[in-house]
Amino acid sequence: MRSIPFPRRAGVAVGVLLGVLASVLVGPATADAATPANLAGLKVLITNDDSARGLDSSFGTDGKGLYELRKALCAAGADVLVVAPYGQQSGAGARMTSPGFAPVPLTVQAVTPPAAYSGDCATSSTGGAVFGVCAAVAPCTSSTPTASPADAVNVALSRFAKTYWTNGPDVVLSGVNFGQNVGSTLNHSGTVGAAVTAREYGVPALAFSAEVPRDLSQIPFVPFAKTAAFAVELLKKTIGAKQLKPGLVLNVNYPFVGAGETLGKPVNTVAGTSNDIGLTFAGEVPRTGGTYQLSAGTPAAETRKNADTTALAANNISITTLDGDWSVAPPPFLSLMINLLG
């Protein structure tokens, strides 16, 4: 895998960019000579962690957001190719299949889009082709191990996308995910993991997630289409600002706006400290082992200023810049310890 080094201060420039984008996107449409009218000619690889099959038409837990994103991008003139996990992979992070001491099969298998989305990309050079990836010898089935989101990006950018484009893609979009990816859940999100994997190839990447309401009766109204429409506008503004560059990784979360509520504005955020899900373990297990019950609970209070969790709770569209790099400047005491150990 080819790794591309990027300046550690790249995020500063991106932060300035997001401030400009936020002010433009929240206001009324204005003429902007630098911003393209559409996305004609833009080669877009779409992936997700909800699977490529789109089997759940009721709630959209199994890839509906991906198809809404595909539809919006093709309507805007983009050239779209989908390579995503064959099965559900929520919470997979950036997990990647390892061959160990022997090769491991990864099958890229054509998937027929749901009927409601079958004609969305007829004019695209790719035909809007959709593929699911499984970690097995063909064919992929519901019982075969599925590939991870990072696997899908890895095989697409290293090999498969070249069968459609000599050069490309220009950008990787991950999503639209069923459910928000904010706060500490970013470390475990397959949607974000796919975007970070694209960065390793020097391809700019944007992850999009649509908030799921806590009121279960409202889940059929998760804002997939609105998130996809925002993705198109954000892409156009980013291209207009000449910032669709290697090293760009954005994590975008679009709020669920309930009855009587108002959509806020795009805001520049940082990853929060709360996990937003409030995972809790119930039950008592003796020292010999046993079974706990894991469930969602009340999220912890947010402690970080300008957090994505806080923005989403206020019905704002959270845009967080990620660098995909876990390294930080070493604390002073570590240098001292190393000198002593040496």
> Cα separation of 241 and 235, whole Å?
10
- pLDDT at residue 18, as a whole number: 56
In this structure, what token pair is assigned to residue 254? 């679009």
Domain membership of residue 82 as a residue range: 10-274+304-341
Strand-strand pairing, 171-178 and 266-269: unpaired
* Cβ neighbourhood burial of 299 (10 Å; 0-12, 13-18, 19+): middle
Question: What are the pLDDT digits (tens) for 7-49?
Answer: 333 343 445 455 545 544 544 444 466 899 999 999 999 999 9
The CATH number of whichever domain residue 166 belongs to comes to 3.40.1210.10
Distance from CA of residue 93 to its chain's centroid? 10
Q: Is residue 290 part of a domain?
A: no
Number of domain units in the chain: 1
Inter-helix orientation angle 149-158/190-200, to 10°: 30
- How would you write 258-309 as a 3-class SS string? CCCCCCCCEEEEECCCCCCCCCEEECCCCCCCCCCEEECCCCCCCCCCCEHH
Q: Is residue 280 part of a domain?
A: no
Q: Is residue 285 part of a domain?
A: no
Name the helix (H) or strand (E) containing 43.
strand 43-47
- pLDDT at residue 20, as a whole number: 47
Nearest CA to 186 out of 209, 204, 202, 205 is that of 209
Nearest CA to 43 out of 186, 197, 200, 204 is that of 204
pLDDT beneath 50: ranges in the chain = 1-14, 16, 20, 23-24, 26-31
Q: Is residue 281 part of a domain?
A: no
- Helix, strand, or coil (residue 50): coil
> Cα separation of 70 and 162, whole Å?
19
Q: Is residue 297 part of a domain?
A: no
- pLDDT at residue 331, as a whole number: 86
Q: Is residue 37 part of a domain?
A: yes
Report the 10 Å Cβ neighbour count for 169. Answer: 26
pTM comes to 0.89
Q: Is residue 296 part of a domain?
A: no
> Cα separation of 156 and 142, whole Å?
21
Q: Is residue 70 part of a domain?
A: yes
